[in-house]
Amino acid sequence: MKITVFGDSILKGVITGEGIPLFDVVEDNSLALAQRQLGFELDNQSVFGNTINKAQRKLIQYLKKGETCDFCIIESGGNDCDYDWNFINDSELQSFEPRVPLTEFLRILDEMVILCRENKITPILMSMPPLVWDNWYEHICKQRNKNKILSFLNGNPNILYQNHEKYNLHLVKYAFEKNVQLVDMRMHFLEHSDYRRIMCADGIHPSKEGYEYMSKLWIKKIPELRKE
């Protein structure tokens, strides 16, 4: 069985924190750990900072080269629902769109699912691990104008969590409506006794322990995947 992955830093295995200049990539990411135990073939095309439109371009290039696989994991949303904080910090504008607006995110997601199915590849979606919004807010404000960031958030940093949750719920809704198999990583994290403890200090990336925890769900779910 071959699995190809088009994801972002979470399935790449990125960690951030003290002593790391910007970020690091752990060899033992969640899918690598699952592969080690289950023995499937893995082609992980995940990229730090990936958004759904970039993932779509990579999928198209992948297919044009004649590549194929049994299952394609599409993992996106965390960067799509986020904003260009440097631009917000430096701009005099009052209104800003997410990196990929929700309607565009869902449109491209649907196009990727259809493209997989047209090429006899079974699409798999993964829900977004939950955000630790207060840590993420503090991370965003580092070396930026905190008052300006707070003003953009209408004085309510919890909007960061609400926006993240909104994209995730639409992704899950899409999976049910289009009968796409879903690995519910968000539920898995929320079932942890203290999911904040297995996240990096930035509040958005799992820690090494977090990736080990993610691998447990992959190890359970991958043998259950159904080829369409």
Mind listing the pLDDT tens digit for each residue in 176-227?
Answer: 999 999 999 999 999 999 999 999 999 999 999 999 999 999 999 999 999 9
Give residue 85's Cα distance to chain centre. Answer: 18
Tokens encoding 170: 């639409």
**In whole angstroms, what separates CA 104 from the centre of its chain?**
16
**Mean pLDDT over all residues of the chain?**
95
Which amino acid type is present at position 21? P
pLDDT value, residue 93: 77
Mean pLDDT of 67-93: 95
Per-residue burial over 99-125, b = 16 or more CB atoms within 10 Å of its CB, e = otherwise: bbebebbbebbeebbebbeeeebbbbb
> pLDDT tier at 134 (50, 70, 90 boundaries)?
very high
Q: What does each C-alpha distance from 115 to 68, 143, 184, 225 come to in angstroms?
A: 12, 41, 22, 19
Neighbouring C-beta atoms of residue 77, cutoff 10 Å = 27
Q: What pTM, to 2 d.p., does this model score?
A: 0.94
Alpha helices in the chain (DSSP H): 9-12, 30-38, 52-64, 85-90, 102-118, 133-141, 146-152, 159-177, 185-190, 208-221
Torsion of CA 63, 67, 70, 75, to 10 degrees: -60
Q: What is the mean pLDDT of residues 145-166?
A: 95
Quick one: pLDDT at residue 21? 56
* 76 membership: H or E segment, kind and range: none
pLDDT of residue 94: 72
Asked if 105 and 50 touch (Cβ cutoff 8 Å), the reply is no
CB 171 within 8 A of CB 127: yes
Query: 113-128 pLDDT, tens per residue?
Result: 999 999 999 999 999 9
172: three-class secondary structure by DSSP: helix
Per-residue pLDDT, 22: 66
**Least confident residue range of 51-55, 78-82, 126-130, 140-144:** 140-144
Q: Which residues contact 224 (CB under 8 A, 6 or more apart)?
A: none
Kindly state the DSSP code that residue 197 receives in the 8-state scheme: G
pLDDT of residue 31: 98
